Amino acid sequence: MPAISLVVCVHRQRDFLERLLRESAGCYDELIVEHDIPDEQNVRLVAESAGGRFFERPPAFLQEPHWPFLWAQAKHDWILRFDADEFPSEDLKAWLKKFRQTAEPPAEISAFACIWPMWNGQRTVSKRYPAGHIFLFNKQRVRFFGMCEQGVIPDGKIESLDLVLHHQPRRTPYGLHNMIFRDQSKRGRAFIASCLLGKPTDLNCWRWKTEAWPPEWEQIRAHPLWSAVSRLIRGTLRGLRDQWTRERKIFPIAAVCGPIFHCLMCLKYWQIRRQHFRKVGLHRKGK
Buried b (16+ CB within 10 A) or exposed e, 7-23: bbbbbebbebbebbbeb
Rg, the chain, Cα only:
20
Q: How many Å apart are CA 287 and CA 5, to the nearest integer?
A: 53
Residue 51 exposed, middle or buried by CB count within 10 Å (0-12, 13-18, 19+): exposed
Residue 259 exposed, middle or buried by CB count within 10 Å (0-12, 13-18, 19+): buried
Question: Which of 49-63, 106-120, 225-239 has the least mean pLDDT?
Answer: 49-63
What is the pLDDT, as a whole number, of residue 241?
A: 97
Report the chain's mean pLDDT, rounded to a whole number.
93
Buried b (16+ CB within 10 A) or exposed e, 176-196: eebbeeeeebeebbbbbbebb
Residues 6+ apart with CB under 8 A from 5: 28, 29, 30, 31, 32, 74, 75, 76, 78, 79, 80
pLDDT digits (tens, 9 = 90+) for 147-160: 999 999 999 999 99
What is the pLDDT, as a whole number, of residue 172?
A: 85
Q: Between β-strands 205-206 and 133-138, what pairing exists: parallel, antiparallel or unpaired? A: unpaired
Q: pTM for the complete prediction?
A: 0.93
Domain ranges of the chain: 4-167, 176-286
Instruction: Identify the CATH number of the domain defined by range 4-167.
Output: 3.90.550.10
pLDDT digits (tens, 9 = 90+) for 100-132: 999 999 999 999 999 999 999 899 999 999 999
Residues 6+ apart with CB under 8 A from 120: 172
What is the pLDDT, as a whole number, of residue 38?
A: 86
pLDDT band with cut points at 50, 70 and 90 for residue 45: very high
Amino acid at 9: C
Q: How many Å apart are CA 269 and CA 263, to the nearest integer?
A: 10
Residue 153 burial (CB count, 10 A): 15
Tell me the mean pLDDT in the region 139-146: 98
